[in-house]
């Protein structure tokens, strides 16, 4: 999977949240090593990375959430892409509530690199449904959106709950679907275009530029 060429020069704080549940690699380890990490690299590689441009953090989640690196960890493109290449998969179950909570309470804080007045975007990729804290998923999604974090959901395979992911997303158009991992990269261009089009108002709320 090819990395994206740089397509966006904007101040953005983007956190990638990658499902690392066991189901991803049941058919092939390439689903993680090539396709999921390739998706993350394609997103990251499409932005100019820097302290005054786009910053990217990354988490992976199963029944718990593990922070790989914060928004302010890498300030150049190649170091960021190399770090993504080194992310391993641990397997396990799926807890969407926990990853949403961690994004809101830990990742998108000034202490960990989030910048006041800069659009905050969470891109969450999943290949199934939550089987831990299921009843808290939508509550945590709503709290995340209420914190002025734009939430994009990316569902892979027909095992996902498309209706739930569409409701979780900030607007229905922020839900993206790939029927299998091979086609995951097909949604990258639309995610990058939507992200690059976000603008924060003075109070930190995100609006979408009108073309």
Q: What is the reported pTM?
A: 0.91
Which tens digits make up the pLDDT trace of 98-141?
Answer: 999 999 999 999 999 999 999 999 999 999 898 888 899 999 99
Strand, coil or helix: 31: helix
Under 8 Å between Cβ of 103 and 13: no
Q: Which pLDDT belongs to residue 7?
A: 76
Residue 28 phi, psi (nearest 5):
-165, 140
- 25-67, pLDDT tens digit by residue? 888 899 999 999 999 999 999 999 999 999 999 999 999 999 9
Q: Which two tokens stand for residue 202?
A: 């003075």
Q: Cα separation of 43 and 18, whole Å?
A: 12
Cα separation, 73 vs 57, in Å, equals 8
Task: Report DSSP letters for 65-97, one per residue.
Answer: EEEEE-TTS--SHHHHHHHHHT---------HH
DSSP label at 49? B
The yes-or-no verdict on residue 2 having pLDDT over 60 is: no
CB 116 within 8 A of CB 148: no
Instruction: State the pLDDT confidence band at 97, using cuts at 50, 70 and 90.
Output: very high
pLDDT at 1 over 50: no
Q: What is the predicted pLDDT for the residue at 206?
A: 53
DSSP 47: B
CB 153 within 8 A of CB 124: yes
87-90 LR contacts (CB < 8 Å, sep 24+): 87/18, 87/37, 87/40, 87/58, 87/60, 89/20, 89/24, 89/25, 89/32, 89/36, 89/60, 90/20, 90/60, 90/62, 90/66
Sorted by where each starts, the structural domains of the chain and their CATH numbers stand as 12-208 (3.40.50.410)
The pLDDT value given to residue 26: 86
Helix-, strand-, coil-residue percentages of the chain, each rounded to 5: 40, 25, 35
Both tokens of 94, joined, read 């799926």
């Amino acid at each position: 999977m090819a990395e994206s060429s740089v397509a966006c020069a904007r101040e953005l704080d983007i956190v990638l949240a990658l499902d690392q549940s066991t189901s991803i690699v049941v058919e092939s380890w390439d689903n993680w090593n090539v396709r999921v990490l390739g998706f993350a690299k394609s997103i990251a590689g499409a932005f100019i990375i820097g302290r005054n441009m786009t910053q990217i953090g990354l988490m992976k989640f199963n029944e718990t959430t593990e922070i790989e690196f914060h928004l302010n960890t890498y300030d150049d493109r190649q170091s960021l892409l190399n770090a993504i290449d080194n992310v391993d998969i641990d397997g396990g179950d799926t807890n969407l509530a926990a990853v949403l909570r961690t994004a809101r309470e830990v990742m998108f804080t000034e202490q960990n690199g989030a910048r006041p007045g800069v659009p905050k975007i969470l891109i969450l990729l999943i290949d199934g449904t939550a089987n831990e804290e299921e009843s808290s998923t939508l509550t945590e999604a709503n709290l995340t959106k209420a914190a002025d974090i734009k939430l994009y959901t990316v569902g892979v395979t027909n095992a996902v709950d498309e209706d739930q992911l569409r409701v979780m997303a900030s607007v229905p158009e922020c839900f993206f679907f790939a029927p299998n991992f091979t086609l995951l990269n097909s949604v990258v261009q639309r995610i990058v275009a939507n992200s690059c089009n976000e603008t924060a108002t003075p109070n930190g709320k995100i609006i979408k530029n009108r073309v």
